[in-house]
Amino acid sequence: MGERQTYLWRILVTGTCFVLFGIGGLILGLLVFPALLLWPGDSRLRRARTRALVQRSFRLFVAVMSGLRGIGYEFEGRERLGRPGQLIVANHPTLVDVVFIVAFTPAPACVVKAALFANPFTRRVVQAAGYISNAPTDQMIEQSTAALKSGDCLVMFPEGTRTRPGQPRHFHRGAASVAVRGAAVLTPIYIRVDQPLLDKTQAWYQVPPRRPNIVLRVGDDIDLEPYRHLPSPRASRQLNAWLLEHYEQELERTAGYNESA
Amino acid sequence: MQTRDEVLEQVKAALVELFELEPDRIMPSARLNEDLEIDSIDAVDLMDRLRRQTGRKISAENFRSVRTVDDLVTAVHALVQA
């Protein structure tokens, strides 16, 4: 196919994926999860099952996106994801990065924006999976800490929303605060796309000129020991400042375009 | 039974220890957010600390209308009286 045809093809694939995502959310929420409730087990077991199912669905979604040649991806070090009490933090350059993280992390919990609990396509899924709303802040911190202490693996995006291209990166302190309060281990993922892809400023049909490639690299665990002996407000401020600086350095070393100023 | 002054001293001690504030800055009229730069995440830590200190169940609900150090002392005082 020529360049023009592949471009039009990718718009078609992208639109199809959005529709599939919405329909998938509805089918899971309206049919599959209620059916799962008929299975025996306590609430913890049920939630684990639901999360595992969300993970499988996202894995299928990744297979569709890449199989239809809408996107290419590399995911380095993913075998280190999904440990008990593990807090996973990631930068958030594109709408699709979260799909990859959930797809390749065994049964994770996620902190997601409150709007997903109101959206008809997503709200049953995020509820059934026991995901945590990012607002109000005090509740988010307490629920996230409790989830980690109970042995869940939790995914958070310290940027709070997708990166705004051309603006300095900013990390909210919530993730650092949760890390020092409740994480057994803190693991970063560095994410780069090779061109702007479904970022904060783009509509769904604004696909990149070439087939996009996303690189997700799982970094070494971050040593929380130096922060454990400080009062939490100081510990989280220091950790947050360190994380932000660390991310800028590590993203430099990851192939891709630099979206932040 | 604790007096209001005792509660004020406890609150001051908590603020100094957690946020390394100069004790002089902790005036009753000081606004937690604007003057003392205590944000919603700090508030969670502050509540934890006050919970341990007072042995009372303290929830975010008790502090929704708290803006100043004086408001905070009033809220904590009400809780330890209850």
From chain A, pick out residues whose CB is under 8 angstroms from the CB of B14.
Answer: none
pTM over 0.95: no
3-state percent helix, strand, coil for chain B, nearest multiple of 5? 60, 0, 35
Contact A177 B41 (CB under 8 A): yes
Q: Which of A67-76, A165-174, A203-212, B56-65 has the lowest mean pLDDT?
A: B56-65
Nearest to B45 among A139, A174, A232 (CB): A232
Q: Is B22 on the interface with A (CB under 8 A)?
A: no
What is the SS3 assignment for B31? strand
Flag whether residue B40 sits within 8 Å of chain A, measured between CB atoms. yes
Instruction: Please provide the average confidence, as pLDDT, over all residues in chain A.
Output: 92
B21 has a chain A CB within 8 A of its CB: no
Q: In what order do the strands lie in the sheet with A185-193?
A: A72-76, A213-218, A185-193, A86-90, A154-156, A109-112, A132-133
Within 8 A of A173 by CB-CB distance, chain B residues are: 39, 41
Please list every residue in chain B whose beta carbon sits closer than 8 Å to the beta carbon of residue A135: none
Distance CA(A12)–CA(A5), nearest Å, equals 11
Q: Is the predicted pLDDT of residue A261 greater than 80, yes or no? A: no
Tell me which long-range contacts A104-107 makes (C-beta under 8 A, separation of at least 24).
Answer: A104/A59, A104/A75, A104/A78, A105/A55, A105/A78, A105/A81, A105/A153, A105/A155, A106/A52, A106/A55, A106/A81, A106/A82, A106/A153, A107/A48, A107/A51, A107/A52, A107/A55, A107/A82, A107/A153
Torsion of CA A71, A76, A171, A196, to 10 degrees: -20
Task: Note the ipTM here.
Answer: 0.76
pLDDT tens across B5-58, in order? 999 999 999 999 899 889 999 999 999 989 998 988 898 889 888 888 888 877
pLDDT at residue A222 is higher than 90? yes
**Pairwise pLDDT comparison (A1 vs A205), residue with the higher score:** A205
The CA distance from A116 to A157, in Å, is 15
Using the beta-carbon criterion (under 8 Å), do B18 and A232 form an inter-chain contact?
A: yes
Q: Are B45 and A174 a contacting pair at CB < 8 A?
A: no
